[in-house]
Structures are given as C-alpha cells and as structure tokens.
Amino acid sequence: MITTEQKLTIKDLKSAVKPIWCPGCGDYGVLNAVMKTIIGLQLDPSHVAMVSGIGCSGRFPAFVNAYGFHGVHGRALPFASGVKLANPDLTVFVLGGDGDAFSIGAGHLPHAARRNIDLTYIVMDNSIYGLTKGQPSATSPADVLQQSTVKYKGRRKGMTGMLNLAQTVSPVNPIAMALAYEASFVARGFSGAPKELHEILKTAVLHRGFSLVQVISPCTTFYDTYNYWRQLAQPLPADHDCTDRAAAFRLALELDKAYLGIFYQVERPSFEDQVAKLIAQPTDSFAPTAVASLLNRFRR
C-alpha cells in the first residue's frame, strides 16, 4: 500500500470518461464501491490495474483513473493473471459480468482459483446478458424471460422461441462453484447495499490470494431485479465461521435466502509468492553471461 502525499479523493479517481451505463444500472454502485475501497485503503492508483472482459460491466476500467486493460470476452482472468505475475506490486482488480465469468470464461475460473493468484475478481452478476440486449445467461433463473422487464418493447419477441429453453436449464451457483474450485476467498455483495459491498471489497483486496466477489448488480434495462434482491438479501448468519468450507457450501445452497457477506476465507500461499521463491533476482533483459553459460552446455 503506497500512500500518496495528498489524500486521494473520489474526484482524483474519476476519469474523464463518463460511464455509459443506463440510469440505475447496478454497475454504478460497484464502481462507487471500488473507488471507495481504493480510497479507504489509500492505494496508489499508479499501482492499481483494472482488468476487464467484455460486457456492460467490462467498460469499467475506462471510468477509473488507474491503469486499465479492456480485454476480450471471457479472458479477464488470464489477462489479469499475466499482469499480476509480471508485476506483483500491482493491486489487480478483475471485472466482468456473469456471461464473462460463468459462460465464455468459465474455464478460467477454476484455474485462477486453485492457483490462488492475488486477484480481486468482481463479477457484476445481473443474470442476463446486458450488452447484447437481454439474452439469458448462466446465472439466469428458470423464469428469467417472464420476469425480464423489457423496456425495449420489440425485444420481447426476440427473447422467446428457442431462448425459452432457458427455462429448462438450471442456473449455476457462483458461490458454490468458487468454493468447489478452491477459491481462498468467496463473498457475495449487492450493489443495492453499498456499505456492505464496500466492506467486502476492502477485505477482498487485503486478502492475499484469489478472491471471488459475486456482486448482484441488476440490469435495470433488461432484467430489473432490485426489488427481488432487496427482499431476499440478508447478512450471513452472525455465527458463520468463514473458515468452515462445508458450512459455506451449505449457506451457498440456500437459494431462498440471498446471503450477503464473506462465505469463506482461508490463507493459502499465493501463486506469485511460490514463484518468487523459485526464481533468482530478475536479470536485465540483456544477460549475456547467463545466456553464454547456457549455450556452453551445448558445446560439442
């Protein structure tokens, strides 16, 4: 944590690019919470990298005065892993939607989690594809198409037909998934509960290792679930021991209660710490002595 001389404020963190999100979109709340976290921890924005995938949520990095990386759909985690491994001094936020995280990029999640690279992965879960205008996603509940608030009238037709099959497909359970994948930090926040979200994010950033934070971030345009989540959302039971993985699983499976908070957190050596133990002091990019001795091994 490098502190700048003057105290960092939200104004410093807001970039010249205005968010393009629809009014009321849950992602605004997440953006605020992330900025507050940076300020709360007084992180030096020059040492913060925001790596995102594609989607409404993927636009995130452009809105923050920090280093940003807007990748391709689904690959935020590997891009971010490369960033963190190459420069472990950076605090790396990884940002994306549920499509990014649990569909196209789902193959990367287990590996980022088990490697335990120190990344804070914030999945803005709106249970719908926002940017492509309202198709069901991997976290869409079965009745998604009935519920979807289609502001764009003409879209409703497009969202029926074979897409109705979404109703027969079970959604994934991101928290249970992350627990199964050996993530060392698993939490759920809600953009409608900014204070709690801020607290979770602070702990997640401080956690040394991979943290998955599923943030319920409703899409006011295609699937406005604010009311639904407001009714269901509740803090995790006060007596929940967040080092108890089995308990965390049990709570994750209670779908009728949307628990917010840290389900699970354990300390495990991070990948980059392990790497650091293996490697020698970094050499200059021109290291003729080392290369010469390597070549020497091949002399006849």
27 is an interface residue for ligand SF4 by CB under 6 A? yes
290 is an interface residue for other proteins by CB under 8 A? yes
| Residue found under tokens 């204070």 | 195
Give the up-direction half-sphere exposure of residue 168: CA atoms within 13 A in the CB hemisphere.
4
What SS3 class is residue 119? Answer: coil
Q: Which is nearer to ligand TPP, 116 or 139 (CB)?
A: 139
14 is an interface residue for other proteins by CB under 8 A? no
Give the up-direction half-sphere exposure of residue 286: CA atoms within 13 A in the CB hemisphere.
0
- List the one residue out of 127, 133, 131 whose CA is nearest residue 217: 127
216 is an interface residue for ligand TPP by CB under 6 A? no
Q: Which is nearer to other proteins, 20 or 165 (CB)?
A: 20
145 is an interface residue for ligand TPP by CB under 6 A? no
73-102 residues near other proteins, rule: CB under 8 A: 75, 77-87, 89-90
**Of 12, 14, 15, 22, which lies in the binding site for ligand SF4, with binding defined by CB under 6 A?**
22
Report the C-alpha gap between 35 and 269 in whole angstroms.
27
Report the C-alpha gap between 102 and 187 in whole angstroms.
16
Choose among ligand TPP, ligand SF4, other proteins, none what residue 99 binds, the Cβ cut-off being 5 to 8 Å by kind. Answer: ligand TPP
**Of 37, 65, 116, 126, which lies in the binding site for ligand SF4, with binding defined by CB under 6 A?**
126
CB of 194 to other proteins, least distance (A): 24
153-192 residues near ligand SF4, rule: CB under 6 A: none
Q: DSSP letter string over 180-217?
A: HTT-SEEEEEETT-HHHHHHHHHHHHHSSS-EEEEEE-
Q: Which is nearer to other proteins, 255 or 287 (CB)?
A: 287
81 contacts 117 by C-beta, under 8 angstroms: yes
61 is an interface residue for other proteins by CB under 8 A? yes
CB of 249 to other proteins, least distance (A): 24
Angle of helix 76-86 relative to helix 271-278, nearest 10 degrees, comes to: 40
Q: How many residues bind ligand TPP (CB under 6 A)?
A: 17
For the chain, the residue count is 300
CB of 130 to ligand TPP, least distance (A): 3
- Burial environment of residue 281 by CB neighbours within 10 A (0 to 12, 13 to 18, 19 or more): exposed
180 is an interface residue for other proteins by CB under 8 A? no
Choose among other proteins, ligand SF4, ligand TPP, none what residue 66 binds, the Cβ cut-off being 5 to 8 Å by kind. Answer: other proteins
51 is an interface residue for other proteins by CB under 8 A? yes
What SS3 class is residue 44? Answer: coil
Host H or E run for residue 39: helix 26-40
Report the C-alpha gap between 61 and 83 in whole angstroms.
15
What SS3 class is residue 155? Answer: helix
Choose among ligand SF4, ligand TPP, other proteins, none what residue 22 binds, the Cβ cut-off being 5 to 8 Å by kind. Answer: ligand SF4
Report the C-alpha gap between 102 and 58 in whole angstroms.
14
Binding site for other proteins (CB under 8 A): 15-17, 45-47, 49-51, 54, 59, 61-62, 65-72, 75, 77-87, 89-90, 107-108, 110-111, 275, 278-288, 290-292, 294-295, 298-300
Binding site for ligand SF4 (CB under 6 A): 21-22, 25, 27, 56, 126, 130, 219-222
